[in-house]
């Protein structure tokens, strides 16, 4: 049985007619940049996220960048984040001339260890970017309390967590801003790049709207130095269609994860742990095993695709050499990079496929 890590064609088949109709309407309007399609999508997604404001932007990366710009992060400032995340989280900090300060992660949740944040705060610290990795929200109660005590901005990197909640609150509502990505592999994805910033602070929403369009307000009068961070109307139209399916897809991912969990219980394959107060959207179903590379090879020999998110922590990347980190500085993140393996969990998988993947993984350990 062949099991890919993701099958976007299966999702496309379910939305093809509606998506094509929506794209066609945008084409008929010939309004391609920040037109009515973007405004309509922003309204719908703000409601979905339980946020007062939603601002469509060009990518998840630009959502982070424009949120940091709106929070007035400047050269020399320090921003605390996790080393176990996609590059963009820290890349955006460095692109503004600020310094990423990496804090190690929790072995169970893979998210930033909130208990280690306070010791890294200096007089230069301006913000914290927690990442809700693989669809599970970081410990936001502790993180926002620390931020309040030290007067720091909190920008949630929710690129992998749209629809996830903690204590009944959806991500993007804990910090000052929530940053989302609609990259094709994300739980809610466009037909290309796209992103979103959510906020409940009116002044921040206004600043981000201005910054995403070069800083102009009104047209050709520049209040600030922004960029072209606009969301395409075509993407907004597709995303508005797919948004109606998102809860159903996320629920299917949870069911797939529950089936994996039940098969991996009391086995050498350590299943992802979801906190009792968290509802995950399982952007990835990521297990940890010391024999990761051999397991991945064994799965591949059995036609099962898997993926490694991420093979190298950010504090040890060549581009951050000047920050002066060395191997051993953030041991949990370093260990996870050699032990994590993400298994197929996308909504269209059949229970038979999940069972086949899980049984094959156990077969690697001689369990059947």
Ligand X SMILES: *Cc1c(COP(=O)(O)O)cnc(C)c1O
> Which is nearer to ligand X, 160 or 256 (by Cβ)?
160
Is 155 an interacting residue with respect to ligand X (CB under 6 A)?
no
Kindly tell me which of 263 and 337 has the beta carbon lying closer to ligand X: 337
User: From CA 36, how far away is CA 58, in angstroms rounded?
Assistant: 16
Closer Cβ to ligand X, 196 or 210, answer by number:
196
Tell me if 178 contacts ligand X by CB under 6 A: no
Choice from 11, 51, 61, 187 touching ligand X (CB under 6 A): 61
Q: Which two tokens stand for residue 65?
A: 């960048």
In the bound state with ligand X, the residue whose beta carbon lies nearer, of 93 and 287, is 93
Using left for φ > 0, alpha for ψ between -120 and 50, and beta otherwise, residue 63 falls in: alpha
237 is a site residue for ligand X (CB under 6 A): no
Segment interacting with ligand X (CB under 6 A) among 55-63, 221-229, 251-259, 322-330: 55-63
237 token code pair:
């139209």
> Longest C-alpha distance within the chain, in Å?
68
Tokens of 28: 């008929």
**How near is the Cβ of 207 to ligand X at its closest, in Å?**
20
CA–CA separation, 298 and 269 (whole Å): 14
- Binding mask 188-227 toward ligand X (x if CB under 6 A, else -) reads -----x-x--------------------------------
Q: Which residue is nearest to ligand X (CB)?
A: 60
DSSP state of 276: T
* H or E element that contains 364: helix 351-364
Neighbours of 142 (CB within 10 A): 16
Residues 6+ apart with CB under 8 A from 109: 133, 136, 138, 139, 273, 274, 275
Binding residue (CB under 6 A) for ligand X from 82, 85, 256, 286 = 85
Considering only residues 102, 183, 191, 260, which one is a binding residue for ligand X as defined by CB under 6 A? 183
Pick the closer one to ligand X by CB: 113 or 157.
157
131 or 237, CB closer to ligand X?
Answer: 131
If one asks whether residue 159 binds ligand X (CB under 6 A), the answer comes out as yes
Provide, for the chain, the percentages of residues in helix, strand and coil under a 3-state DSSP scheme, each rounded to the nearest 5: 45, 15, 40
Pick between residue 81 and residue 144 the one whose CB is nearest to ligand X.
81
Applying CB under 6 A, among 71, 81, 89, 353 the residue interacting with ligand X is 89
The residue from 55, 57, 60, 65 that contacts ligand X (CB under 6 A) is: 60
Distance CA(269)–CA(286), nearest Å, equals: 10
270-277: long-range pairs with CB below 8 Å, 24+: 272/110, 272/134, 272/136, 273/108, 273/109, 274/109, 274/136, 275/109, 275/136, 275/139, 275/166, 277/166, 277/167
Q: Which is nearer to ligand X, 183 or 264 (CB)?
A: 183
- Which residues between 95 and 154 bind ligand X (CB under 6 A)? 131
CB of 131 to ligand X, least distance (A): 5
Q: Which of 11, 51, 59, 109 binds ligand X (CB under 6 A)?
A: 59
Of 11, 71, 109, 181, the one binding ligand X (CB under 6 A) is 181
Least Å distance, CB 176 to ligand X, is 17
What is the SS3 assignment for 17-66?
HHHHHHHHHHHHHCCCECCHHHHHHHHHHHHHCCCCEEEEECCHHHHHHH
Q: What residue ranges bind ligand X (CB under 6 A)?
A: 59-61, 85-86, 88-89, 131, 157, 159-160, 181, 183, 193, 195
């Amino acid at each position: 049985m062949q099991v890919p890590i993701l099958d976007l064609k299966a999702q496309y088949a379910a939305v093809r007619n509606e998506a094509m109709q929506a794209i066609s309407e945008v084409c008929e309007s010939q309004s391609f940049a920040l037109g009515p399609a973007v405004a309509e999508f922003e309204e719908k997604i703000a409601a979905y996220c339980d946020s007062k404001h939603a601002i469509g932007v060009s990518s998840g990366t630009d959502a982070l960048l424009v949120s940091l710009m709106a929070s007035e992060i400047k050269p020399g400032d320090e921003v605390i984040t996790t080393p176990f995340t996609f590059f963009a989280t820290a890349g955006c900090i460095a692109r503004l001339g600020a310094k990423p300060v990496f804090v190690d992660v929790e072995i169970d949740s893979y998210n930033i260890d909130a208990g280690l944040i306070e010791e890294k705060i200096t007089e230069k610290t301006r913000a914290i970017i927690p990442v809700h990795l693989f669809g599970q929200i970081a410990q936001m109660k502790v993180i926002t309390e620390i931020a309040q005590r030290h007067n720091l901005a909190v920008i949630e990197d929710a690129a992998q967590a749209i629809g996830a909640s903690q204590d009944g609150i959806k991500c993007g509502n804990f910090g000052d801003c929530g940053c989302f990505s609609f990259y094709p592999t994300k739980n809610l994805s466009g037909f290309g790049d796209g992103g979103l910033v959510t906020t409940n602070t009116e002044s921040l929403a206004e600043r981000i709207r201005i910054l995403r369009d070069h800083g102009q307000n009104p047209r050709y009068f520049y209040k600030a130095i922004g960029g072209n961070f606009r969301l395409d109307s075509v993407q907004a139209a597709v995303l508005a269609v797919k948004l109606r399916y998102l809860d159903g897809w996320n629920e299917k991912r949870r069911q797939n994860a529950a089936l994996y969990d039940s098969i991996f219980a009391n086995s050498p394959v350590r299943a992802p742990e979801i906190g009792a107060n968290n509802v995950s959207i399982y952007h990835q179903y990521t297990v940890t095993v010391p024999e990761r590379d051999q397991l991945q090879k064994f799965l591949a020999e059995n036609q099962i695709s898997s993926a490694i998110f991420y093979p190298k922590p950010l504090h040890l990347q060549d581009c951050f050499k000047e920050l002066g980190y060395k191997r051993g500085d953030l041991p949990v993140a370093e260990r996870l990079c050699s032990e994590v393996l993400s298994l197929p969990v996308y909504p269209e998988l059949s229970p038979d496929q999940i069972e086949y993947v899980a049984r094959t993984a156990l077969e690697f350990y001689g369990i059947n």
